[in-house]
Structure 1
Amino acid sequence: MGTAAATHPAVSYVMPVYNEAAYIEAAIDSVLAQRYEGPRELVVVLGPSTDGTTERVAARAAADPRITIVENPQLSIPVGLNRGIRAAAHDIIIRVDAHTELPADYTSLGVASLQRTGAASLGGLMVATGRGRVQTAVARAYNSRFGLGGGAYHGAASEGPAESAYLGIMRRGPLEQVGLYDEGLKRGEDWELNFRLRAAGHLVWFDPALRVAYWPRDTWSKLARQFRATGIWRGELVRRLGGRNSLRYFAPPALVLSLVASLVLLVLELTGVVSGWPAWLLSPVYLGPVLYLALLLVLLVRRSSGERFADRLTFVGVIVVMHLSWGAGFLRGVAVGARDAVDRSRIES
C-alpha cells in the first residue's frame, strides 16, 4: 500500500472553465481517461457561463463522483485556480484548461518526472491544433518560432530547468509557500507563479515527453482580443519586475514602435516637412518594418506539401495580428498599467 502510494500519489486536476461548450466535454474526457493507478479527482472551477457550459459540467458531475464543482463568479483565472487548489483533496495539483486535451499517459509521465527531478512545478509541450482555416492557421502560428517563439513549451527538444511551465504539474507545499497564484493578475499568472517559485529556490522543469493538445481561438477578433490582453498584462509584469522579464517579450512592442515611427517619417517626407540630410539621418527607422515585411514575404512564398496559397496567406495574417495586438497591448500595459484589462475573447463572439 505504502509503495503504491509513493509511486502513484493521489492527484487533483484543477480546471478553470468559462464559456467552453464546444471544448469542455473533450477536455473532461481526456482527464477521466488518464491511465494512472493513483487516486484522482477533477475540480472544475466554473464561471457563470452563458453558452451551456454550466449545464454540461453539472451533468458530468452528477454522473461521476470524481468531479467536484467550485464556483468562480469573479471570472478571474488566478482567483479560480486558487479556489480550486484550496478545494482539492490531494498534494499534487495538475492544472488543465478547457481548451486542452491530455494524452492518456500525461499524468503517469508527469508524476514520474516530478518525483525524479524533485521539481516544484513542471510542464511540457503545448501542441496547438485547429479546425477550419483560421483556427488551423492560429495553431500553426502557436507551434511556429515565428508566432509565439522563445518559450520552451512551444518547441524545445530537451528537458531541463525552465523559466515557466505550461499548465503545470505542481506540489502543493511550494505553491502554498509562495502564496499560490497572484490574484491581482488577469493574464500571465503561470509565468509569474513560476517566477516566484524559482526566486524561492524551487526547481521549475520542462519535460518534452509531456504533450498537451491545445485548441486556440478560432476567429480573428477573438485572437486579437486575447493577444492584446496578454500583451497588456505582460507590460504590467514588466512594470513590476523590470529586466527580470526575458528579452523576447520586448520584440513585438519594438516592432509596433518602429512601424509607427516609420509611418510618421513617411508622412513627413511625403509632405516635405523632412527632406535632405535629416531624412537620410532618420532613414534607419525603416529598417525594422522592412525586415519584418521581408520575413512575412518568405513565410508567404515558402510552400509546404499540399498547402494552398490561401492557407499561407491566412497564416501570415495570423502572425501579424498576434504580433501587433500583443505589442500594442504591451505598450499600453507598460505606460499605464493593466488596471482592469481582461481577456474578452471568451465573452464576445
Structure 2
Amino acid sequence: RNVVNSLKLPKVSIIIPARNEEKFIERCVKSFLDCDYPGELIEIIVVDGMSEDGTRDIVNEISIRDNRVLLIDNEKKITPVAMNLGVKASTGEYIFFSGAHSEMPSDYISKCVQHAIESGADNVGGVVKTVPRVKSSVGIAISKVLSSPLGVGGAKFRTGVCKPTEVDTVPFGCYKREVFDRIGYFNEQLVRNQDIEFNLRLKRAGGKIILFADIELTYYSRSTFKELWNNNFGNGFWVIAGSRYANIPFSLRHLAPLIFVLTLLIGIVFCVFFSIVCMLLWITLGVYLLLILYESFSRGESLSITLLMILAFPILHFSYGIGSLCAIIFSERAADS
C-alpha cells in the first residue's frame, strides 16, 4: 500500500454531492470502493439533490450490495448544503469531497492520507486530468483549453506542478475533520464557488493547503460550447455575487476575465474620442489573438481541434468576465432598491 505502514490508518469519509448524474455516479462511487485503502475504513455518502433521473436508484442498488455507501437527501438542491449535510453525517477523521462526474485512481485516498499526515496540511489535493464527457472534437478542444495556462490562468491544479506546492485551493480536497470545528462549514448562500471561499477562509485562519504532483484525478468536462458558456458564466457571476454573503470570496486571479472584459468595453467607448485608445485596443486584441493562436496550435492534435480551441478560449474568458460584470450590475441594482 501507499500509506506509511507504521501509521495507524484513519477512517475516511467521501462526500459526493449529486443531482441527475445517472451517467457518471456509478463510475464515481466504484472508483472509491475499488481503491487500495482498507475497505473497513471507508464510508461513502452520496448527498442527492432530489434527482429526477436514475441517480437515486443506482446509488440505492450499490448501497444494498455494499453497506459502506449511504444516500441522504438534499431537499434544497444546492451544492454547499449537500457538502454540509455530508460533513455532519460523516464519521471519518479525514473528509474527502468529490464531484459526481469525477473518477479517482485506486491510490487516490491512500496518497492523500499519507501526504496529509506527513505534511500536517489541513487540506491536500491533486492535479486534475481533464477529459471530455463526450469524445467529440468540441469536447476534446474544451478539455484542452481547460488544461491550458492561458485558459485557466493560475489554477495550478489544472495545469500541474512538479513538486508539493502550497496553493489557495485544490479540487474537491481531503480535509482534516477538525477544520470544520475550527472555521465552520461551507457558506450555504454561495450557489457556486463555495469551495474557493471556504479554502480562502481556511488560509486566512492560518491553515495550510498543499497540492501534490503525484495525486491525480479525472474530471469530465463540459463538451459543448453552450455548456462551457453557461458553466463559466455562473462561475464568474458568483465570484462577484458571493461578496454579498462572504468576506472577499475569491483570489485576485479570479478577477482577470472581468478586468479584460472591462478593458475592452472601456476601450470601445473611448475609442470614439481618442485615436490612441483605438490603437491600444487593437494592439490588445491582436496580442490576445496571437496568444490564442500560439496556444491552440501548440496543443491541438488536429486542424479541426485546433480551430475549435481558437473558439473555445474566448468563450471561456468572455463568459466568465461577462458573468462577473453582470454580478456587479445586479449587486448595484439590489443596493439601489
CA distance in 1, matches of 2:332, 2:324: 9
- The CA deviation at 1:40 is 0.6
**Identity of matched residues, %:** 28
CA distance in 2, matches of 1:128, 1:255: 25
CA distance in 1, matches of 2:11, 2:5: 10
CA distance in 2, matches of 1:297, 1:117: 41
CA RMSD of aligned residues (A): 2.4
Q: For 1:150-189, list aligned pairs within 5 A.
A: 150-154=154-158, 155-189=160-194
1:220 counterpart (220, 225, 229): 225
**Residues 1:80 and 1:339: Cα distance change in structure 2 (over 3 Å):** farther
- The CA deviation at 1:222 is 1.3
CA distance in 2, matches of 1:197, 1:135: 34
Contact 2:93 2:176 (8 Å CA) reproduced: yes
1:134 counterpart (135, 138, 147): 138
The match for 1:120 is 122
CA deviation map 1:79-113 (0-9, x unaligned)? 10000110112221011111110000011110011
CA deviation map 1:267-305 (0-9, x unaligned)? x4xxxxx4xxx323553233322211222232344465x
- The CA deviation at 1:169 is 0.3
The match for 2:216 is 211
The match for 1:308 is 302
Contact 1:236 1:338 (8 Å CA) reproduced: no
CA distance in 2, matches of 1:286, 1:186: 37
TM-score with structure 2 setting the length: 0.89
1:290 counterpart (282, 286, 309): 286
TM-score with structure 1 setting the length: 0.86
Q: For 1:255-274, list aligned pairs within 5 A.
A: 255-264=260-269, 268=272, 274=273
Quick check: 126-135 or 64-73, which moved more?
126-135
The match for 2:71 is 69
Contact 2:28 2:102 (8 Å CA) reproduced: yes
**Residue 60 of structure 1: SS of its match in structure 2?**
helix
Q: Alignment length, in residue pairs?
A: 326
Contact 1:255 1:288 (8 Å CA) reproduced: no
2:200 counterpart (195, 200, 210): 195
Contact 1:233 1:338 (8 Å CA) reproduced: no
Counterpart amino acid of 2:148? Answer: S
Counterpart amino acid of 1:293? Answer: L
CA distance in 2, matches of 1:176, 1:222: 36
Contact 2:161 2:212 (8 Å CA) reproduced: no
The match for 1:29 is 30
Quick check: 210-219 or 289-298, which moved more?
289-298
- The CA deviation at 1:187 is 1.2
- The CA deviation at 1:46 is 0.5
